[in-house]
Amino acid sequence: MKIYTLTGDDGTTSLAGGKRVPKCSQRVEAYGSVDELIAWIGLLRDHRENHERRDLLIYVQSQLMSCAAALATDNENPGAKIILPEAGCLSVLENEIDRMEESLSHLSNFLLPGGNLLVSYCHIARCVCRRAERAVLRLNASEKTPEIVTRFLNRLSDYLFVLSRKISLELGNEEIKWMI
């Protein structure tokens, strides 16, 4: 099977279920943003400093694929099977956040992203995650989306922030506080 179909040359794409929509639609923007996030998580996963977190990051990517699949499904098609993230996906992230926070100092200021390339990648992934969440919320204003998708993205952005702090600690990097 060829990767190119020529059907998208007119600026449309197919949702799961067959419905054609403009590539600039809110739905495509939402699942495209999640797709971008999946790639950023892959970049984080591939760093040797994240070797111990590799399985969790693969799990996160898998849950994000389910989020993207749910967003790419025509919810007006009653026969369309919507794939959702696992029921326990929020608890997985919350437990990992709690575990990492045990070793982190209390934070009462905003932090300036950076200090190490991997830490910066965590912050970029966090920002992409927040953008994806906003895209899903915009879509949800006009078309119903599964609540678990926005909840997972919200929790994942928290996880990515805490992960950036944990990696900074592990690498001995100074966290630069922004003071107002």
The answer to whether residue 12 is domain-embedded is: no
**E strands in the chain:** 12-14, 20-22, 110-111, 177-178
Distance CA 1, CA 5 (A): 9
The answer to whether residue 10 is domain-embedded is: no
The answer to whether residue 154 is domain-embedded is: yes
**φ/ψ (deg, to 5) at 178:** -100, 120
Distance CA 48, CA 90 (A): 26
With DSSP H G I counted as helix, E B as strand and the rest as coil, what are the percentages for the chain, rounded to 5? Answer: 60, 5, 30
Distance CA 126, CA 22 (A): 27
The answer to whether residue 17 is domain-embedded is: no
Which CATH number goes with the domain that contains 153?
A: 1.20.1200.10
Domain hosting residue 64, numbered range: 22-96+108-178
The answer to whether residue 101 is domain-embedded is: no
The answer to whether residue 15 is domain-embedded is: no
Q: What is the pLDDT of residues 29-66, one digit of tens each?
A: 999 999 999 999 999 999 998 899 999 999 999 999 99
The answer to whether residue 134 is domain-embedded is: yes
Give how many domains the chain has, as a whole number: 1
Amino acid sitting at position 70: A
The answer to whether residue 159 is domain-embedded is: yes
Q: What is the pLDDT of residues 92-130, one digit of tens each?
A: 999 999 999 999 999 888 999 998 999 999 999 999 999
